[in-house]
Amino acid sequence: MSAALIRVEELAKDYVMGSNVVPALRGVTLDIAAGEFVAVMGPSGSGKSTFMNLLGCLDHPSGGSYWLGGQEVSALSGDELATVRNRKLGFVFQHFNLLARTSALDNVALPLLYGGMPPAQRKQHAEQRLTQVGLAERLDHHPSQLSGGQQQRVAIARALVNDPQLVLADEPTGALDSRTSVEIMALLQQLNREGITIVLVTHEHDIADFAGRIISFRDGKVVEDRANVPKDAAAAL
């Protein structure tokens, strides 16, 4: 039990639309252990994005509990959640969400800025992460000077820069062509082998196939949760 990095019990989320209450998540209970590579699947409206937002501490659940690394986070205030996101989580988004006209280095260092790290150390950490994702030569490039795949690598470096316990990737290949997608997946697999826990949302089976565990959602509930023998992305290139 205590080995689980993520533990959710009866996690629920309702959206209020006018006088209607729309349940988006109807009681999800599961554990994710440290070091896992999990793909979350499901059609739109299945609740997978809502589940991700709750895992990412970006939203408050309507019911149930969520422990992240042994800490009950479902009851924390907005600012406390911000601290949790800053210290324990890394995000990779479909549209990269990099700051325009800001160098790759500064983009990667952004979480450290809010974490209160001194500038020299920020630079050093960010450089190290960019090197890790293969962009050591592109430190001063702005997002507009980088390809989509390179931008997503910058975003991954940003997700890693604060040594998170968990990286959440929301459709990280959704805006990329298939070859670049596989490259990104190869990078995520490599990071996972290095010990980082990854939860990835996708609606593509090809992409989910690179993960070690696939959880499927439908109508706000988990309908399938199975282990998968991951395809090696590096070999597929």
Question: 202-208: long-range contacts (C-beta < 8 A, 24 or more apart)?
Answer: 202/39, 202/40, 202/41, 202/171, 202/173, 202/174, 203/41, 203/42, 203/43, 203/44, 203/171, 204/173, 205/41, 206/178, 207/39, 207/173, 207/181, 208/39, 208/41
Q: Which of 93, 139, 165, 190 binds another protein (CB under 8 A)?
A: 93
79 near another protein, judged by CB under 8 A? yes
Q: Which of 4, 34, 58, 175 binds another protein (CB under 8 A)?
A: 58
9 near another protein, judged by CB under 8 A? no
**Among 30-38, 74-82, 130-138, 207-215, which window interacts with another protein (CB under 8 A)?**
74-82
The nearest distance, CB 169 to another protein, in angstroms, is 13
The nearest distance, CB 172 to another protein, in angstroms, is 14
The nearest distance, CB 95 to another protein, in angstroms, is 8
70 near another protein, judged by CB under 8 A? no
Q: Tell me the site size for another protein, rule CB under 8 A.
A: 27
Helix axes 148-160, 104-115, angle to 10 degrees: 20
Chain centroid to Cα 231, Å, comes to 20
The nearest distance, CB 2 to another protein, in angstroms, is 26
The residues, any chain, with a CB within 8 Å of residue 9's CB and separated by 6 or more, are 29, 64, 65
Tokens of 23: 């349940």
228 near another protein, judged by CB under 8 A? no
226 near another protein, judged by CB under 8 A? no
Q: Is the dihedral of CA 88, 138, 149, 189 positive or negative?
A: negative
The nearest distance, CB 61 to another protein, in angstroms, is 12
101 near another protein, judged by CB under 8 A? yes
56 near another protein, judged by CB under 8 A? yes
Residue type, 150: Q
